[in-house]
Each structure stands twice: as structure tokens, then as C-alpha cells.
Structure 1
Amino acid sequence: MSSHQTCDGMESQTAFVVGHDWGAEVAGHLCLFRPGRALVSLGVPFRPRSKELKPTKLDWELLGPWQGVKIAVPTKFIVGDKDVGFVSFGTKDCINGEIFKEFVPNVEVVVIDGHHFIQQEKAEPVSNEISCFLSKKSLL
């Protein structure tokens, strides 16, 4: 069963989706495909379909209809400032640049002192960020 079937099976029009690393990638696409969700992404920002990110031919073909589509749901991106991906793989430039905000226009970015497994290393501040974000009345 897919993640969107699980959410749809609960017969709810809204869901709060939290994902870390590859789970953040899955969560981002879930919110792209089923926009009645709110997204919290930990460590890995949503990156739209592009020529540079072409994981497999099948993925490329399946994502074709969503070329240029924005994640319209409220989104919070949380990352550790010492996360190897943040520092070395362009994540810092991505979240500070225009492309990220173009494809995820309703995003709040939080950089916390920590590493890749920020949700474990800094559980309390990360949990507080998530709780505050999800408790906003505008998300309901």
C-alpha cells in the first residue's frame, strides 16, 4: 500500500506528513501528488524534477506530469547546520536560493545547531518546531 493510499484510507481530507532524509523526499512527493497535506521535511529539501536529478528512467517518466508543479501545502524544513548534506551537497545554497522558494512557496526554514539525525540529536527543539508548526490554525 502506498503512503497516499494509507492517508486516503483514513478518510481524512488533511494529514500532517513528516519525513527525514529519503522519507523527506517521499513526503514531499506525497504532498505534491495529494495537496491536502502539510509537510515537515527534515534534512533533505524538496527538489523538483530536473535534468540534474534523474534517478531512474521510470521515475523520470512517472514524474513528468508534475513538471513545474509547486508544493502548495504549508511546509517546514528543518536541518542541522553541521549536516554533511547541508554543508557539502548544496542544500544550504538550495534553501537560500530562489528555486527552492519557487517550488515550495509556503515554506518556513529552520536551521538548528546539529548534524544529520537532527530529530534524535536535538529531539526537544525539533519536536517543538514541529508542534508549533502543526498547531497553527491556518493548517487545519
Structure 2
Amino acid sequence: MTISLHKFCSRLCSCCSKPAQNTKKMADGEIAHRTVAVNGISMHVAEKGDGPVVLLIHGFPELWYAWRHQIVGLAGLGYRCVAPDLRGYGDTQVPGDVNDYTVFQIVGDLVALIDSLGQEKVLVVGHDWGAMLAWNLCLFRPDKVKALVALSVPFTPRNPARKTIESLRATYGDDYYICRFQEPGAIESEFARLGTSLVLKKFFTYRNPGPLFIPKEGWGSPSEQITLPPWLSEDDISYYESKFDKSGFTGGVNYYRCLDSDWELSAPWTGARVNIPAKFIVGDLDLTYNSLGAKDFIHKGGFKKYVPMLEDVVIMEGVGHFIMEEKPDEINAHIHEFIKKF
């Protein structure tokens, strides 16, 4: 599929933000929620605190809520924390066309959000897809970022020789979760069969350092019982469930369905480096850290080559993928230690 580069690069300009609307102010000490018009969509934003802005970008299957501990912790240290629901998630608008979910569209949302905050540059923290988007924000619009803390997903340079899905399918097979996400409607049907709560529990409790597979014959039984870890409560799951029941999973899954489009659109950045001060944190049980070639890339010079201002790499022992929820105090300390320099 070929998509106009000009069409999507236009999303990265700073002219697409509009004044905030539907602001809800809460009592002191609480997280405030409001809706902002950015890049042609309505975006829900959670925020707290005063001071330098820290933009917190969530991944899949998450929401602003994944940053609840960081919002409170960093606000208490003198920062203004801003955590949106990304397009397709939670209380943010869910566009219906898969082409509305390319990396240029979503980075465009973030640029417009930054502009709506009246900021030239912000500190950025991203996890999972949020880390991927943050790396691309730094790549496409370095003028908008003071420094970046990326959780779980390192910067991945574009491979001009092979499309993303083709490469993943050749490496892991058709049942690899990203490959299973590609057929429109198929994974949504499987998630509906299992039920939203169970799907979320299966993702959040996955701690196998190997790749995640979702077999075509089914990802288990709807009657499966999963014990939650101490860092995740039934109330937490209920909040996530209420929002995914409203928005569905298609918006989040469409990010994966645009990976090949992203590969095409990002061709001009082949070989480009991220020239932003950065810190990377990952758990040693994280499936991304244990994916093929990841450790060599992170530890043997490739990562530093493409992110020359990478200042620190932290490997947290015995920690899985959802690192900021599993170890909130440690993550808050790591983030603060880094961003206070900027």
C-alpha cells in the first residue's frame, strides 16, 4: 500500500492544535481531566502539577491510567504531568479508517498537544508503543523534545531491505501476536470471545521472556482464571475494562496494522539518528528485551550508534513488560534522576 508522504508529513506541523475544550477542574491533589482538539480529533488528557511539562505516552493495551503512579509522584516533585489517551484509546476519539493510525498521524497528535500546552519543548516519557512514538517524535520533530526516557522499547532503525511484518512473520511465524493482529476483525473476534477483562489480564500478566503467540485456534478459554500480581488490582482491571468496552480494541490494534505503511512513509529517515538526550529502562523479563537480536543491539554499540546522546541504559532484574506499574517508585526515581538535569 502506497500512501502520500506529503499527506502524512503535514500532520507533523504545528498548525493543527486548537484551544482546549470541555475542561474539568478537580480539587487540589486530584488528577484533572479535559478534552483537547488536536490534529482533527478530540483527545482526552489527564494532568496534574505545575512546573516543567512531562509528556507521558502510553502503549498497548494501556491508557493514561498506566501512568497514574508517575503522574502523582512526578507532580509532587515539581512537574506538570500530561498523560493523554492516544487516538483510538479510552476517551479519545477513535477514527474509523486504519490509515488514520500511521506513525505520522499519531506523532502529529503529540506535536499538536505540545503546542496546545503553550510549550516549545517538553520532557517525554514513553512506554511500549508510547516509547516507539516518542523515538519518532524525537526523530521527526527534535525541536519539540528536551529529553526522553524510553521504557521497554529501544529505538529501532529502519531496515530498508525488508518490510516490518514480512520480517516478523519470517522470524516468528503467523501466530506471533503482531502477525495475528494484521487481518481486520480477526483478533477483535478472538478478544470478544474471551471477554475484555480476560484479554487485559492475559496481556498484563504475561511474563514469559519469549515471544507472545496467539494461536489461530484460540488464545485459551473464556473460563480461564488468572491471578493478578500485587501491583495490579481488580479495580485497575475494571477501569481499563470500562474504557476498552467503550472504545474497543481496533484503534490500538490499528497501530500494528500500519507498521508496513510506517515503513514506507519513513523511508527518508533511513539511517537517521535520534539526537536527543535519552535514557532507556527495561525489565530483564520483558519480551521486547528478549526478542531476537535486541540484547546485542542494546549492549554492543548499535543502540548508542543510532542514539548518540544516550546517557544511560538500565536493566531491572525480575521485572516484566509493564514496568512503570510493576515498579512505580523505582521508575519514578529513575525518571526524576534523569529529567532534573534539563
Q: Which runs of 4+ in 1 moved over 3 A?
A: none
Look up the match of 2:314: 110
* Count of matched residue positions in the alignment of Structure 1 and Structure 2: 137
TM-score when normalising by structure 2: 0.38
Letter aligned with residue 149 of structure 2: V
Q: How does 1:37-76 map to 2 (within 5 A)?
A: 37=145, 38-50=147-159, 51-52=161-162, 54-55=164-165, 56-76=259-279
Contact 1:44-1:91 within 8 A present in 2 as well: no
Q: SS state of the match for residue 84, structure 1? A: coil
Cα shift at 1:57: 4.3
1:96-135 alignment runs, 5 A limit: 96-107=299-310, 108-113=312-317, 114-135=319-340
Name which of 19, 22, 36 aligns with 2:129.
22
Matched residue type, 1:134: I
Tell me which of 93, 106, 111 is aligned to 2:296.
Answer: 93
For 1:10, the aligned partner's letter is: L
Structure 1 Cα separation of the partners of residues 269 and 115 of structure 2: 20
Q: Which has the higher relative contact order, 1 or 2, with Cα contacts under 8 A spaced 6 or more apart?
A: 1
Cα drift, residue 28 of structure 1: 0.6
Instruction: Report the equivalent of 1:84.
Output: 287
TM-score (structure 1 length as normaliser): 0.88
Conserved? CA contact 2:163–2:260, under 8 Å:
no
Deviation of 1:93 (Å): 1.8
Name the Cα RMSD after superposition.
Answer: 1.7
Q: CA deviation at 1:101?
A: 0.8
The amino acid that maps onto 1:72 is N
Identity fraction in percent:
43
Larger Rg: 2
C-alpha distance after superposition, 1:61-101 (max 9, x if no partner): 32122122111111110001121221244322221122211
